[in-house]
Structure 1
Amino acid sequence: MRCLGQVRLFDDPVAIARIVRNLLDNAIKYTEQGEVVVSTARRDEWAVLEIADTGRGIPPGELTRVFEEFYQLDNPGRDQQHGVGLGLTIVQRLCELIGADMALASESGVGTRVTLRFRTLATGNEPRPVNVDADVSGVSGKRIYVVDDEADILEAMRILLQGWGCRVETAASARVADALFSDVGRPDLLIVDLRLAEGEQGLALVWRLRGRHGEFPVLVVTGETGLEALAPVRVAGFPLLQKPIVADVLYDAVSRALPSAAMRQRD
C-alpha cells in the first residue's frame, strides 16, 4: 500500500476514521495482486481523498447494488451468514453526516477507485468545528438511545455519539426499544425516528415509554417534510431534525437536549 500527499481537515475524526477504515478494508481484501494507493489533494475549496486498488473490481451491473446492506462481491445472493457486506452503506451515511461527497468507479478485473471530497479543508485560520476539538464534557458519559429502523443510520449515529464519549444503545424497532427500557432503564436522551417499522409511530412509542418509565428528553429525527406529518411533533414541543443530518447539527441538538436530563435523578 502506498500513501501520497498530505492534507489537513477540520472535521469529525471518528467519522472520517471509520469511513477510511471501511474503504481500506475493502481495497485490501479484494486486491489479491497489485497495490492499494491512498492519495490526498487540494482541489479548489475541496480536500480530496482517493483510495485506488488493482483488485478484482466490480461488475458493471453490480455498481448500483454495492450500497445495499448485505451486498458482497463474492456473495451475490446476499446470504447474511457470509457477513455484513462491504460496509458502504455506513460509509454513505457517515459522508452525509459530515457533508462529504463520495464517488465510486470500478471495472471488473481492473480495480476500483473511491473518491471522497470534503469541504472542511483546513487553512490554519478557520475556527474548529464544535464536534472536533471542543469540550464535550456536556455530552460525554451521557446515556443515549437511538431508535431507527434503518441499520446503517443506527450504526452511523452510534459511531458519532460514541466518538463524543456518549454511552449509546440502539434499537431497530419499537419492540426492541421497549425491551431496552425495561432492561436498562431510562436514558439521558432518546433519539427516535418519526416513522418506524411495522407501522409504529415514533411519537406513539415515546408516549408509551414515558407512561411506563417516567419523563426523559426526546429528540425526533425524520425524513418527512409535510406539515401534516410534522405537526404532532411541533405540538408536543420536541426538537426536530430533518434527515440527512450533519454532524455539527446533531451535536448541537444533542447538547441542547441533555441539560434537562442532568436535572433529574437517575433510576
Structure 2
Amino acid sequence: MRANPLRLAESRILVEQLRLVLGNVGSTVVPICLLAVLVLFSLSSDSNATALRTWCAAAMLANLYAFYYARKHLPDAILARQPHRIVRALIAQRAISGLVWGALIWITFDTASLAGRILAIAVVAGMAGGAVSTQSAVLPAFIAFVFPAVSIVALKLWLMGDPAYHALGLVCLLYLVSLFDQARSSARAARTTIELRFENTGLMEKLRQETLVAENARRQAEQGNVAKSKFLAAASHDLRQPIHAQGLFLDVLSRTELTPHQRELVACVGSASQASAEMLNTLLDFSRIEAGVIEPQVRAFRLQPLLNKIEREFEPQADARGLTYRSRENTLVVLSDPALVELILRNLVSNAINYTRCGGLLVACRKHGDHAVLEVWDTGIGIEQTQQREVFREFHQLGNPERDRHKGLGLGLAIADGLARTLGHDLSLASTLHRGSVFRLALPIASASLTVEPVSMEHGKPQMLGARALVIDDDETVRTAMIHLLRDWGCECEAAESIEEALALAARHAPDLVISDYRLREKRTGLEAIAALRELLGSDLPALLITGDTAPDRLREALASGIPLLHKPITPSHLYRALVTILPP
C-alpha cells in the first residue's frame, strides 16, 4: 500500500525529506533575488512604484530568511531533534512566500501593458513550477507555497470581467491541479528512495554484522582446528611411546620359551596392542596428508597381487561377521604408487566391512577407456544423498553414536580421499540407502613400454645384523625395549637419554649406526643429535629417526632432513627392514 504523501513520515524519513528541501534553498536564493529585482525594473510605473518596491523587498527578505533558516537547521542533530517543529515553521514560511509572489499580480496587473501582464503571470507560474523540484519532498510545504500563489492569480484573472481572462483563470486552476499531481508523484518517489536507502543501509549493517559473526566463527573454527591438531599430536605422541615399547617387548617375549597357554595370552595381548597401533597409524596417515609430506612414488605395477594381499588380510574379518568377501581376477597394470593405492583400498574395504551387517562385499576392477576403475561394492546400510559428501570429512561416522572403536575413528574415508587427491586420482561414491554402496577409484593404465616392478608382499626371517647400535630416547621403557630387540638381532647396543650422553658413549665406542627419537628433552631433536654424532664420527654414519609426533610442522621438518623416518609404534619387522636398508652391505 502506498504511503499518503500528505501524511508526515516517521522521524528518520522526515529528517531526510527536510534535508532535501532545506538543501535546495541555497541553490535558489541568488536566482530568486535577481528575479525580484528584474520584475521591479520591468513592471515599475509611477502608479505602482511604492507598492512594487515594497513587494520586491518582501520577496527578497522572505527568500533570504528561508536561506538563513535552512543553514541554521540543516545540521543532523537539530533535524533529528525537531523535525515536526521545523516542518510547521517551513509551512508558515512557504505560505508567506506564496502570498508575496501571488500579490505581484494584484500590484502590477491593473497598470501593466499586455506584455507586462504576461511577464507577471509567467514569473508566478515559473516560481510555482520550480517549487515541484525544490519543495515537493515535503508536500505540505509545497502546497503552502503554490496554492496561495496560483489561487491569487486565478482570482485576479476571474475578476477582470473579460471572458478571455476568465478562461485564463480556469487554466491557472488546472495548472494548480497538474502541479499538485506532479508534486505528489515526486514526493512519493523521494520517500520511496529514502526508505530504500534506509533498507539498504539496514541490510548492509546486517550483512556487516553477519560477516563479523561469520569471521569470528571462522577464526574460532581455525583456532579449534589448531587446538584439535595440537591435542591429537600431543595425545598421539604420548600414547605411541608405551604402545611402541609394548610391541617391542611382546616381540622379544614371543621368541622365548613359553607354554602353550602363555603363548596364547601373548597372542591376545599382541592383538590388542596391534589394534591400538592401527588406530594411532590412522591418525598418523591423516596428519601426513594434512602436512603435505606424502610424496608419491609412481611406477607401473600389477593390481592383482595387491588385491590378493588385501583379500588374505580382510577375509577372516569378513568371515567373523558372517559376510562374504569376493574379488575378481584381473590382469591390469596401472601407473601409481602401490603403497598409497594399498592404503586407499585398505580403508575402503575396512569401511565396507564395518558398515555391512549382512550379505557381503565385492572388490573388482574393470577397464574404462585408459583407466582401470577399482571398485569396492558392499550390501551395507547405504548413505543418504545429503551425507555422501560429508562421509569424506574427518571424524564423520554414520550410525555410530556410541563411538564403537571397532568401527574406527571416522578417518578412513577422509584418508582415502586425501590420498586420492595427492595421487591425482578420482575417488567417487554411489550409494542407495539400506541397499549398499560402491566406491570407485580410477587409476591410469600403464603403457606397454613401462617395466612392471613386482610389489613385495612377504619378508623373510630376520638375519643377525652384527652391528654396534646407539639408541637415543628420553623414555626409559623404550630404551630398554630397543636394547632387548637389537640384541636379539645380534647387535651390540648402548642407549642414551640425551645428546651429551650419546656423544660420551660414541667417543668411547664408535657405533655403526644410530637410532634416535625425534623429540628429546629440553626441546631438542634427534636431528640435532644425529648432526652432532656425524660431526664427531663422520658424515657417513648411518642414522634412523623414530618419532611419535604427528604435528604437521614436525613431519615436514623431519622429512626435509633426508634421514629415514619411522613412526611409533613400529613393528619389529619394519624396524628390521629399515636397519637393513641403511647399513652398508
- Per the normalisation by structure 2, the TM-score is 0.24
Higher helix residue share: 2
- Per the normalisation by structure 1, the TM-score is 0.50
Higher relative contact order (CA closer than 8 Å, sequence separation 6+): 1
Higher strand residue share: 1
